[in-house]
Amino acid sequence: MESMAESNKLHVVVFPWLAFGHIIPFLELAKLIAQKGHVVSFISTPRNIIRLPKLPPNLAPLLNLVKLPLPRIDEIPENAEATMDVPYNKVQYLKKAFDGLQTELTRFLQTSTPDWIIYDFAPHWLPAIAGELGISRAFFSIFNAWSGSFFGSSITMIHGEDYRTKPEDFTIPPEWVPFPSNVAFRLYEIRRFFNSVEENISGVSDWFRFGSAVIGCDVFLIRSCREIESDWLDLMQELHQKPILPVGLLPSSVQYREDDIDDTWHTISKWLNKQDKESVIYVALGSEVTPSQVELTELALGLELSGLPFFWALRKRHGLAEFHSFELPDGFEERTNDRGVVWTSWAPQLRILAHDSVGGFVTHCGWSSVIEGLQFGRPLLMLPFLGDQGLIARVFAEKKAGIEIPRDEEDGSLRRDSVAESLRQVIVEDEGKVYRKKAKEMKAVFGDKDLHKRYIDKFAEYLQNDRHGSRVLIAKTDLPSAKRKNLVLLMHAS
């Protein structure tokens, strides 16, 4: 007879989009589910699975890494299985290949009979398949609630009913935001964004993918917490009419790997140890961002003009010829050799940010990077490039956790003088004390492991209690009773 412990054990499938900015948060969530004693099948393509960080030995029996071969299409290189492997203008072809995983994933779900599947925005076809198989469905957004709310309801996305029809319309907060907000795009940002979300070679727009993923879910999971954006989480619930369940920020730990005493960290830490406390600018623009040659040059010359010590993680993206062609300004490394490092291979970002010598973080404002910077209290020097990065920058500029490095409002061009002035303002000038102080204050939320553990505990409880089909809309318990009555709904699976 099945024991009580066995009967409470779930099988959860986790299926992220093919971008490491998505894959890693999904993996973190999978590991936390496995820590609760549940069996997890984490699904991606072979090369992406190989590139994952090593799993802790205690989780290996519970967390299965499942490889589904990515269908080949001519427009992407043979070994390209993630967005970091292709130029930005080829990502839409990767989505076309991704849609080809439908048959193999369906076969896996039919034979493994999981209780839940946690999925990303891209597989618009997945909710219907899982529903037919009786599998509970959780959509997991790695984005925060203000970014998710900015684009409106899932119904609006699917049917193309947004009243905003031109880029200029997105440079002010949307009309459905009922509270003061500065969350909006710069004109150059939204022009770039428009180019990435319109209907494309896959035949399906990103709007439709996201909307379908949300409409088809039983619960909407989000990498966020009420301590940061309670108003936005409430708004998301009203917009999507789905249970919204924050899972916390999933802050990463500074993990010590088997090669802990390796040459990489030994070399980096030796240099950092020689620098003054909170004096170093750490520069890292993520694995997806490919700055133009002009942007790269202006950023480099701005670092030089600032006169400040810096560590620049400038990792080249393998297989992308256009990235390999980028060049630092003539003589830049020689002129800055006494106070700066340009690191062109993998860098242990968490360990660098945790080092006492780091005083500021030049970031593209990917949500994971912002979380990592603020969990160590590092003020942000924000240089957004793609997607929702501009919206994230608006919020943390308003919260005074850092400043945006100014760009030209029309074309987004960057100037070395603006870079240098911004760096000095945040790192050394009296004017920057407010940013340094506020970033340290935010560490109390972003770095609070106990707080985020409580969110995971509630999430795990929800998965367990909801396995038989009842859908309870999670509401904020301290809302006024009239509003809470409107938000708390009981739904039943068909």
Alpha carbon of 19 to those of 15, 47, 242, 345, 389: distances in Å? 12, 12, 26, 19, 15
Q: Which long-range contacts (CB under 8 A, 24 or more apart) does 179-182 make?
A: 179/231, 181/146, 182/394, 182/395, 182/397, 182/398
Q: 67 in helix, strand or coil?
A: strand
Distance CA 283, CA 360 (A): 9
Bridge-based pairing state of the strands 39-44 and 63-67: parallel
Domains 4-251+449-492 and 263-446 share a fold: yes
Q: Does the annotation count 468 as an active-site position?
A: no
| 257 class by beta-carbon count within 10 Å (0-12 exposed, 13-18 middle, 19+ buried) | exposed
Query: Which pLDDT belongs to residue 370?
Result: 97
Query: Which pLDDT belongs to residue 316?
Result: 66
Domain boundaries, the chain: 4-251+449-492, 263-446
Query: Which pLDDT belongs to residue 60?
Result: 92
CATH topology of domain 4-251+449-492: Rossmann fold (3.40.50)
Strand order in the sheet with 136-141: 63-67, 39-44, 11-15, 116-119, 136-141, 219-222, 244-246
Instruction: Identify the sign of the CA torsion 392, 42, 201, 160.
Output: negative
Q: Does the annotation count 22 as an active-site position?
A: yes
Q: What is residue 171's DSSP assignment?
A: G
Backbone torsions φ then ψ of 486, nearest 5 degrees: -75, -25
Query: Which pLDDT belongs to residue 260?
Result: 46
Encode the chain (494 residues) as per-residue pLDDT tens digits.
Answer: 444 356 689 999 999 999 999 999 999 999 999 999 999 999 999 999 999 999 999 999 999 999 999 999 999 998 999 998 998 878 889 999 999 999 999 999 999 999 999 999 999 999 999 999 999 999 999 999 999 999 999 998 898 888 998 999 999 999 999 999 999 999 999 887 776 555 568 888 888 999 999 999 999 999 999 999 999 999 999 999 999 999 999 987 655 443 444 688 999 999 999 999 999 999 999 877 888 999 999 999 999 999 999 999 997 655 555 545 578 999 999 999 999 999 998 899 999 999 999 999 999 999 999 999 999 999 999 999 988 999 999 999 999 999 999 999 888 999 999 999 999 999 999 999 999 999 999 999 999 999 999 999 999 999 999 764 444 333 333 333 333 333 222 222 22
DSSP string, 426-455: HHTSGGGHHHHHHHHHHHHHHT-HHHHHHH
Backbone torsions φ then ψ of 333, nearest 5 degrees: -65, -35
Backbone torsions φ then ψ of 43, nearest 5 degrees: -110, 130
Q: 413 in helix, strand or coil?
A: coil
| Domain 263-446 part of CATH 3.40.50.2000 | yes
Query: 385: Cβ–Cβ under 8 A, 6 or more apart, which residues?
Result: 192, 285, 289, 291, 364
The residue annotated as part of the active site, out of 115, 120, 234, 466, is 120
Distance CA 89, CA 86 (A): 8
Cα angle 372, 373, 379 (rounded to 5 degrees) comes to 165
Token digits for 405? 């490095």
Q: What is residue 407's DSSP assignment?
A: B
The residue annotated as part of the active site, out of 22, 240, 355, 364, is 22
Query: Which pLDDT belongs to residue 466?
Result: 77
List alpha helices for 175-331, DSSP H. Answer: 187-197, 206-215, 226-240, 263-273, 293-306, 321-324
Query: 423: Cβ–Cβ under 8 A, 6 or more apart, which residues?
Result: 281, 302, 303, 306, 308, 360, 362, 381
pTM recorded for the entire structure: 0.89
Query: Which pLDDT belongs to residue 34?
Result: 97
